[in-house]
Amino acid sequence: EPEVTQTPSHQVTQMGQEVILRCVPISNHLYFYWYRQILGQKVEFLVSFYNNEISEKSEIFDDQFSVERPDGSNFTLKIRSTKLEDSAMYFCASRDLGSPLHFGNGTRLTVT
Amino acid sequence: GENVEQHPSTLSVQEGDSAVIKCTYSDSASNYFPWYKQELGKRPQLIIDIRSNVGEKKDQRIAVTLNKTAKHFSLHITETQPEDSAVYFCAAGAGSYQLTFGKGTKLSVIP
């Protein structure tokens, strides 16, 4: 069964540094998402992406965040200047039209 | 925006018993209600979903019911097994799949 793949599995960075989290959605999927989960808390929507542009974003997704689909396979989340409170598990997800969301295994981001 | 409340936050059942988790939502525009199972340190995995044009859906030991009028939906797991132990999240969303998740229920099945 095809899977959403995310790299790295764990990223440690210092406060103020930029990080890029990478995702390879399932190949025939058209809709891409980033969610985050602070340890022990619920999963929270960040942003959705379709047809090479952001379709929706949450209040969490402020100017420090950006997404990009640099080529036909990758989907990235960039955090420009990380803060301690950005420490969380970040999940990429994708879906096809009418299909449910498929989540990747996540990237654990630790900001020190 | 949408607000999803989930209860209980923890649930312990004896192996073989049933488990029920309940969620309420606030936005009447929501029409898609998935349930995810998350094992420790792993990704959420879809176990069942229901759309607003259906009142109940069943898949083996798992069933979900939806009451649109009351804006609540429930997950029922029958004949629970130790491997059912995990955190279960309900979610609600409209066609865009911008899902709003509940806070999760930690289910423990005691052998």
The pLDDT > 90 percentage for chain A reads 80
- Burial zone of A105 (CB within 10 Å; 0-12 exposed, 13-18 middle, 19+ buried): middle
Quick check: A44 and B101 CB within 8 A? yes
List the single residue in B36, B44, B96 with the smallest CB-CB distance to A48.
B96
More confident residue, B96 or B29: B29
What is chain B's percent helix, strand, coil content, to nearest 5?
A: 5, 55, 40
Shortest distance, CA A108 to any CA of chain B (angstroms): 9
Q: Tell me the two tokens of residue A71.
A: 């080529």
Q: Residue B52: what pLDDT?
A: 85
- Determine the average pLDDT of the residues in B6-31: 96
Which of A16-30, B8-22, B41-55, B64-78 has the lowest average pLDDT?
B41-55
Cα B76 to Cα A16: distance, rounded to the nearest angstrom: 45
Question: Mean pLDDT, to the nearest integer, of A87-102?
Answer: 91
Contacts of B98 in chain A (CB under 8 A): 45, 48, 56, 58
Q: For residues A82 and A78, give the distance between their C-alpha atoms in angstroms, rounded to a whole number.
A: 10
Strand partners, A7: A22
For residues B26 and B33, what is the distance between their CA atoms, to the nearest angstrom? Answer: 13
Contact of B87 with B99, CB cutoff 8 Å: no
- Count of other CB atoms within 10 angstroms of residue B39: 12
